[in-house]
Structure 1
Amino acid sequence: MKIAIMQPYLFPYIGYFSLIKNTDFFVFFDTPQYIRKGWINRNRILSANGDITYFTVPIQKADRNTPINKIIVSNNYDWKMKTLGQLNIYKKAPNYGRVIDLVKGIFNTDTMLISDLAIKSIVKTCEYLDIDIKYDIFSKMNLALPEVKEPDEWALYITKELGYNTYINPPGGMSFFNREKYQINDVDLQFLVQEIIPYRQNREVFIPALSMIDVMMFCSCNEINEMLCKYKIER
């Protein structure tokens, strides 16, 4: 049985959803320290001139050690309207109407926490794509874990406590994990390498790994689910 554990990101790229689709259980790891200029409250889309730009949910100032699930959304300006305005670049995309309604529904979530908003962006996107997501949120699970001495032990102990025998991570963590440690604990450590399939973006040169919003604007749900099955496992 396979498990994946990731921090909650706002409308993440396609590889994040591949982890969800190709594992049996997913844990939103919402207690690590919030990292500025990461993917928790922003992501990349196309800009009006066809390049890359960011949409961002602003957050209130917080101590540098504040965990993700304590970070509060700032409403000092109408960020929802600004982001929806940025998404006007997709008006000629085939799925603009459905996707913009999805985004609006998520933005209208009754919460002040960026973690809640990010998690909802993922769960609702899975529903849109008909991906069966079985998940929990780490801060609400009350797991009795051993003392964590190294960062790679979080995933190991969560995996064992929940009774799974395979932990799958994105390829960016290949140098981060101690493989021997997982072997000793009878946990199969795997890395899912997503193949990025080019699709039409109404521009001459394809830009890969943008927010899933970009993919959904141009591709059907069936096409996206086919893309999500294009990956390889490395150890």
Structure 2
Amino acid sequence: METPSSTLPTTVEKVAIMQPYFFPYLGYFALIKHTDFFVSFDPVQYIRKGWINRNRVLKPNESWQYITAPIQGTDREALIKDVLVTEGDAWKTQILRQLEHYKKRSPYYNEVKALLERCFANPELSISRLNTFYLAQVCEYLEIPFNHAIFSDMNLTLGPVAAPDEWALRTSQAMGATTYINPPGGREFFHADKYIAGGVKLQFLDMHLEPYSQRRPTFEAGLSIVDVLMFNTPEQVRTMLDNISLETAQ
């Protein structure tokens, strides 16, 4: 089962470039929904205990827990594109077991379980390709377009990259994109003057997440998309994804 990847379009207006996260939070999918093309950015160092191979869901009764795709032994300097998950289905079965408690309170448990089973049927070991495949499956479930490619497959010719914030600029330029959109956490990281000089509009997307019912006293914010889907229909989630604001960097 191959990871679906869109053909690079001849023209792109709005592009997002993100490391491929493991069943990421809602804001990640808002970024996908409000751009024309999404790049899974995998030529950078894999950070242990980050979001590449794990995310958070509800724990039975209270608080939250991690669901994790364990990785094979890697060098400390390994790049995301070279990281492999552990072979076999044991970790996938473990995740499904961790989610069984949702059955008691989630109205869409069966639909989400079926979605995850489709995801987990992919035997791919590359964490970059696997996560991108999972993103595609979730977007299909939500009925939102997911025009995308994996950076290491794109064979782009980039200009000089002298600073970390220039990866997105050079990639946008190589794709002919007119606008690059980033999550809000990168405001202090990016230098707008570089983008203005490079002919690329730099914008930041803020997600305004309203609490949804998790059928428990305390709302746990910022969990994996898996949790959101357990309690909301695709239509409701699409509405959530439109609850955003865009700020243009000056």
- TM exceeding 0.5: yes
Residue 129 of structure 2 contacts residue 150 of structure 2 at CA under 8 Å; is this kept in 1? no
Give how far 1:76 is off: 7.7
Q: Secondary structure at the match of 2:99?
A: helix
1:57 to 69, 84, 100: 69
Q: Structure 1: any 5+ residue segments left out of the alignment?
A: none
| Matched ranges for 1:187-198 at <5 A | 187-198=200-211
Q: Structure 2: any 5+ residue segments left out of the alignment?
A: 1-12
Give how far 1:153 is off: 0.6
Q: Secondary structure at the match of 1:222?
A: helix
For residues 166-204 of structure 1, the C-alpha deviation after alignment (integer angstroms, 9 at most, x for no partner) is 100001111111111111112111100000121110111
Give how far 1:75 is off: 3.6
**Is structure 2 residue 221 aligned with structure 1 residue 208?**
yes
Q: Give the TM-score normalised by structure 2.
A: 0.91
For residues 132-178 of structure 1, the C-alpha deviation after alignment (integer angstroms, 9 at most, x for no partner) is 11111110000011121111111001111111111000011111111
Code of the residue aligned with 2:242 in structure 1: it is C
- State, as a whole percentage, how many aligned pairs show the same letter: 48
| Number of the residue aligned with 1:108 | 121
For residues 30-71 of structure 1, the C-alpha deviation after alignment (integer angstroms, 9 at most, x for no partner) is 111100001000000000122110000100111111111111
2:94 to 82, 85, 94: 82
Aligned residues: 235
Structure 2 CA distance, aligned partners of 1:124 and 1:69? 20
Residue 58 of structure 1 contacts residue 75 of structure 1 at CA under 8 Å; is this kept in 2? no
Structure 2 CA distance, aligned partners of 1:202 and 1:117? 31
Residue 174 of structure 1 contacts residue 191 of structure 1 at CA under 8 Å; is this kept in 2? yes
| Number of the residue aligned with 2:8 | none
Code of the residue aligned with 1:176 in structure 2: it is F
Residue 87 of structure 2 contacts residue 125 of structure 2 at CA under 8 Å; is this kept in 1? no
Structure 2 CA distance, aligned partners of 1:20 and 1:208? 20
User: Given the superposition, is the C-alpha separation of residues 76 and 105 from structure 1 closer, same or farther in structure 2, using an over 3 Å criterion?
Assistant: closer
User: Given the superposition, is the C-alpha separation of residues 133 and 76 from structure 1 closer, same or farther in structure 2, using an over 3 Å criterion?
Assistant: closer
Q: Give the TM-score normalised by structure 1.
A: 0.97
